[in-house]
Amino acid sequence: MSYDLAVYTSRSASIEELRTLIAQASGLAMEEGSGRSLTVVRGVRRRYSFTIDGPDAVEAEDVPEDVGALVLGARFLYSISVEGTTESEIPHATRFARRLAEALDGASSNQQSGEVWSRSRSRVIQKPERHTRVEVLHLQWFCLRDELKPNPASAFFDTARQILPESLPRRFGEYEPFQGKLAIDGSEGFFRAWEESILSLHTSGTVPCLGGHLSAGPSALRPDAFWSLSLDFLAEPIKDARWQVAVRNLFTTLADQLPAFYASAGVTAGNIWTGRSIWVDGATEWEIYPKSRQGWTGLPPVPTWWTWLGHPYEQYFPFLPADRISPTARGVLFESSSEPSGPSQLPHLSEWLPADLFSKFAQNPHSVRPAPLVRAVTIPTALRERDG
């Protein structure tokens, strides 16, 4: 017989930390183990109690959804087992698993019953004061419609559920107030709403995700060659490394899976937080939208925090600085800085890429938002051929 518990944590513990945690439990002691396996004994006779294996590194997709919903940035797995017929030791193993989860900001999962226990507050966000101005992080993905996965709404939903549940479409619709509710309509209701949308399907998320949009699908009223997806986040929480890792994982995974040809993550300042959503006024910075009715306008004229490039920009990958890029399955991620920052604080990609790949601001005497752009001199052929 083996009674098994899994503890998912955001950091690993040293041997001394484990020894201290074990000693804090009455009657338990740690025997010296070999490698990554430790034996815990109990009582004066040092009777076998349970075994601790790990930590093993885990990817986001390896973390169970019920654990991921409670713990942000779970990266390590400890396996705790009661071997043999010593059922009397199960309560001791269970209590220690919870103690370990609490100490390492994680969660304990009972592999027999499926029960998950956690006191982690890693996913709790302190909201800004109402009517204050805040920075917003805008994620955008741009795709060629004829190269999309058969159901990009499903790809978005499944990726969000696994990596960052806060970005799931809690509510959705083509106009406000949104009529679709995930809690009532489920994922099938969301997919159906996207398939029936004729313009764009808009979503509301859970803080720090504010929501986003998906371009219409098969029922689009005026479909063009391009399709896009966006998500907005309060920027301040993303300065926490755990949130940043999760958002980056979501960003690159969707860029690869959709697939996109270009994706960006940019920060704007001066957004007004109402307590539930964001409003803008004349003092708000607006994000750049690098597509017009005529087609793709080129890489944007202002720096963005993250830039992801895929086909047909691969010929320019070698131009980018090696210490700022990370290859992904279908492209490359360029990171301008270590935390979310506005354009004025970032280097421009034109320091490394040819200037003729970038659009420019057009004259805008009436302050139209988003700002109109003059098309880049050089547009990759695969994008130019799909204009308007």
- Pairing assessment for the beta strands 262-273 and 306-309 based on DSSP bridges: antiparallel
pLDDT tens digit sequence for 299-332: 999 999 999 999 999 999 999 999 999 999 999 9
Position 385 scores a pLDDT of 72
pLDDT tens digit sequence for 80-136: 999 987 789 999 999 999 999 999 999 999 999 999 999 999 999 999 999 999 999
Tell me the mean pLDDT in the region 187-195.
98
Q: What distance in Å separates the CA atoms of residue 263 and residue 179, rounded to the nearest whole number?
A: 29
pLDDT band at 379 (very low <50, low <70, confident <90, very high): very high
Position 319 scores a pLDDT of 97
pLDDT band at 387 (very low <50, low <70, confident <90, very high): low
Position 174 scores a pLDDT of 97
pTM (predicted TM-score): 0.92
Position 35 scores a pLDDT of 67
Element spanning 186, H or E? helix 182-196
Q: What distance in Å separates the CA atoms of residue 140 and residue 266, rounded to the nearest whole number?
A: 9
Position 86 scores a pLDDT of 78
Position 369 scores a pLDDT of 85
Whether residue 34 has pLDDT greater than 80: no
pLDDT tens digit sequence for 208-250: 999 999 999 999 998 999 999 999 999 999 999 999 999 999 9
Nearest to 19 by CA among 52, 61, 47, 59: 52
Task: Quote the tokens at residue 330.
Answer: 């279908």
Domain covering 2-118 in this structure, CATH number: 3.30.310
Q: Where are the domains of the chain?
A: 2-118, 133-384
Q: What distance in Å separates the CA atoms of residue 375 and residue 290, rounded to the nearest whole number?
A: 9
Task: Quote the tokens at residue 112.
Answer: 């027999």
CA 68 to chain CA mean position, Å:
12
pLDDT band at 26 (very low <50, low <70, confident <90, very high): confident
